Amino acid sequence: MSVISVLQRLAGRMTVATVAALGLSAASGEAVAQSTYPARPVTIVVGAGPGGGNDVAARLIADYLSRELEQPFVVENRPGASGARASEYVVAQPADGYTLLLGNTATQIYNSMLLADSTFDPNRDTVLAGMFGQSTNLLVVNPQLPVNSVADLVALAKSKPGELNFGSAGNGGSVHLSGEYFRLKADIDVVHVPFKSGAEMATDIIAGTTDFAVDNLPTSYSFVVNGQLKALAVTSEKRWPTLPDVPTMAEAGFPDFNVLSFYGLFARTGTDPEILAKIDAAVEKFISDKDEGEAKLDRIGAIPFRLEPADYSAFIDEQSKVWRAMIAAAGIEEVKR
């Protein structure tokens, strides 16, 4: 055999060995990346301004995950288009688990029904990393408004058509949709006033400039507890655990008014399943620890809510039917931003 032939064979063997070594190196590198996640700070993006229910929920879970996973989990507010801007931002980032979305009914369900120009498809673009909380909406009024029940509010609105107004945290959000649905079902003539955030809206109701809202409970809970807002009804099917003395909308004469909200962490589709499992395990630990999940969510009127990733699709399908029916009944059409 010639010297050239021997050299060619050696070169071929070296190439195969080198490729194999590189493959093993890459695989081991991925395993290390998964086992050490998170190796740097993680961002939780919230599609609402500071102070609202979504923002507060995000900060509660971020605080726990920072301690549990020993890396900072930082909340970043990107308000606009009922959370659509935040959703679109998250799915434009690498699918590495370092940019998460604080997902809720808006981002994961009804935005895709309302925003004609949204490029975000929640079922295509995101995967559940960990569900941790559930809440309801709450019909609240300024305490100076001369009403003590839903029936009183309806009667007052009917006596002053077009004079009362209701607030929301922006067009197309759950507070807006719930307010429109109430207006329709109660057959009252009231004016919608959108604000930039739930906190700004609540402050305006307290000041008496805005009359009422069907608000997210975490936004208005502390104001109800300290007497700055008066709660007339919750939109859950049963009385809410953190406000047991407040009747349901069904008790108030609106049997099909059942609106719930959820809080979860979502990652971009394509994120490694081991990273998702690590986040989910930490979130489940938060929920199961009464001094953490239950006690801290209780501060904003929410309750722990565990949903296995395998059950997520069925849950979303069920909730989508509820919101689609409510949007249709309220006569709200697709809009462009």
**How do residues 27-36 score in pLDDT, each as one tens digit?**
444 445 557 9
Asked if pLDDT for residue 119 goes beyond 60, the answer is: yes
Residues 118 and 155 in one domain: no
**pLDDT score for 23:** 52
What is each CA distance from 68 to 71, 72, 113, 216, 296, in whole angstroms? Answer: 8, 10, 36, 28, 15
What is each CA distance from 27 to 23, 136, 279, in whole angstroms? Answer: 6, 45, 21
Asked if pLDDT for residue 292 goes beyond 80, the answer is: yes
Confidence of residue 239 (pLDDT cuts 50, 70, 90): very high
Higher pLDDT, 10 or 253: 253
Residue range 206-216: average pLDDT?
96
Asked if pLDDT for residue 234 goes beyond 60, the answer is: yes
Residues 99 and 148 in one domain: no
Rounded CA separation 294/69 (Å): 20
What CATH number does the domain containing 155 carry?
Answer: 3.40.190.10
**Pick from 151, 152, 183, 185: nearest CA to 166:** 183
Higher pLDDT, 105 or 1: 105
**pLDDT score for 22:** 46
Residue range 245-253: average pLDDT?
97
**pLDDT score for 88:** 94
Torsion angle of C-alpha atoms 268, 274, 275, 277, degrees rounded to 10: 90
**pLDDT score for 172:** 78
Average pLDDT, the chain: 88
Number of structural domains in the chain: 2
Residues 225 and 140 in one domain: yes
What is each CA distance from 59 to 31, 54, 79, 95, in whole angstroms? Answer: 30, 9, 15, 22
| Structural tokens at position 90 | 């998250």
**How do residues 17-29 score in pLDDT, each as one tens digit?**
444 444 544 444 4
Confidence of residue 8 (pLDDT cuts 50, 70, 90): very low
Task: Find the domain containing 47 and state its range.
Answer: 42-134+260-330
**pLDDT score for 213:** 98
Is the Cβ–Cβ distance between 79 and 196 less than 8 Å?
A: yes
**Pick from 132, 145, 161, 144: nearest CA to 54:** 132
Asked if pLDDT for residue 128 goes beyond 60, the answer is: yes
φ and ψ at residue 133, rounded to 5 degrees: -150, 155
Please spell the DSSP secondary structure of 238-293, one letter per residue. S--TT-TTSPBTTTTT-TT---EEEEEEEEETT--HHHHHHHHHHHHHHHH-IIII
What CATH number does the domain containing 63 carry?
Answer: 3.40.190.150
**pLDDT score for 334:** 67
Residue 35 is assigned to a structural domain of this protein: no
Residue 30 is assigned to a structural domain of this protein: no
Residue range 104-115: average pLDDT?
89
**pLDDT score for 130:** 97
Residue range 262-272: average pLDDT?
97
Those residues whose C-beta lies under 8 Å from the C-beta of residue 263, and which sit 6 or more positions away, are: 54, 57, 58, 61, 102, 103, 104, 131, 132, 133, 134, 135, 302, 305
Residues 116 and 264 in one domain: yes
Confidence of residue 16 (pLDDT cuts 50, 70, 90): very low
3-state SS assignment for residue 57: helix
Residues 54 and 127 in one domain: yes
Confidence of residue 147 (pLDDT cuts 50, 70, 90): very high
Residues of the chain with pLDDT > 70: what percent? 88
